[in-house]
A and B are shown apart, each in its own frame.
Chain A
Amino acid sequence: MDTDYDGFITTSIDSVVNWSRKFSLFQYPFVTACCGMEYMAAACSHYDISRFGAEIPRFSPRQADVLWVVGTITHKMSPILKTIFDQMADPKWVIAFGACASTGGFYQNYSVLQGIDRLIPVDLYIAGCPPRPEAVLDGLIELQNNIQKEGPKPNGIAPSAIRHKDQKVDQLNRYFEISKKEVFENVQNPKSNRISKPGFTYSKDYVNTSPHIGYDSPEMQKKKSELKEKK
């Protein structure tokens, strides 16, 4: 083959390998708290995480690609988590699932680790207490995009793990910032790769877009304004 195309071939192979990686993520769920329920919901047939290739939870870290840290991690548990992370074979990724794993959540006391990123590198944070299954799927897709874009690094820490604190905050905020356009005009946010919006679907016909009045239907609005006039 012509040597000019060497570069082209390697990048293509990387892309293919990354593509296969992102659709065959074997998971290790490290479930410690109530977030586990949402993880189970996401994993079961209703939300069906296997649609995204993350089908099988492996209950040995040695067979897993993704470590889901689902729930509160205490200081007493931190050596165990570290051991499990070290036992995973490269390439590996870590997802901090929910408020407690990301930041310690509402526990700021003697026992709880204030975010697992103080202990192990985290590739993705999913906000919520607990996150809805849609948010979980959203996070998984985000991770898949990262894998496709960046791929693994030989020393086990994906480049996406090297992020600044502000980036973490941005990523966590992302789940709370459904833009107004998305809500009121029922338009998918181009930044977001959500399949369905978390919680509800809005439609322009049933949403009153003026502020401070709430989400009344046009009929209800008429009734309310009539009542006001009577007063």
Chain B
Amino acid sequence: MSESIKSSEMNADREAGKLTALLKQKFPNDVLDFHAHRSDETVVIERDSLDSVCRFLRDDSRCAFEIMLDITAVDGLEMNMKPRFEVVYHFKSLTHASRIRLKVPLEEDDCRIASISHLWKSADWYERECFDMFGIIFEGHPDLRRILMYEEFEGHPLRKDYPIDKQQPLMELKEIEERHTYGREL
């Protein structure tokens, strides 16, 4: 049963939607892969073309994506993804009531990608969050600082090679054994 569903969904996935076709026509060398699920289209693109693709998506009247919904990343270390990172962008168009997802694969050694905060203001904090959690550097960002963690924090906690319970306290903490004394004699 599951196989038949899978195959039918797979076939549906491979059908290029309108937006995918448009992007393929406009950027034939930069679209690496695509799929769609129930008319939600996903396009995987080359890193260097991100700026021009985003500009096209925002300004072209057939796309008109006014809203940048979300930027996040995926660390595929434990899934053996190659390349290791993937930055994911979600856009929404109010004019056409449509959505699109862009994915950009990134190598571990070269975690750099162009910032799109000059195209959508809302990208600013999402990129800071993404930098904070995954250590992906957004080039051209006006103020790329940590946004959730404190400045003293070392490393990027949502990377899969960050130890899951490693803590970096800001204050001096009592050890569990000496909790009850608080520096005084009992």
Contact = CB atoms under 8 A, between A and B. Distances in A.
A156 B149 CA distance: 32
Interface SS, A side: loop
Interface residues of A, number: 22
B176 A110 contact: no
A225 B186 CA distance: 60
Given A110-B157, A110-B168, A119 B182 contact: no
A109 B180 CA distance: 24
A108 B165 CA distance: 6
Interface residues of B, number: 22
Interface string A133-167: 00000000000000000000000010001111101
A161 B174 CA distance: 14
B182 A161 contact: yes
Interface SS, B side: loop
B180 A119 contact: no
Interface string B175-186: 011011110101
B186 A162 contact: yes
Contact of B180 (A79, A108, A165): A165
A164 B179 CA distance: 8
Contact of B176 (A78, A111, A165, A167): A165
A167 B164 CA distance: 29
A161 B184 CA distance: 12
Contacts of A110: 149, 157, 162, 164-168
Interface string B122-140: 0000000000000000000
Q: Which 8 A-B pairs have the closest CB atoms?
A: A110-B157, A118-B173, A78-B171, A164-B180, A118-B174, A76-B150, A108-B165, A75-B169
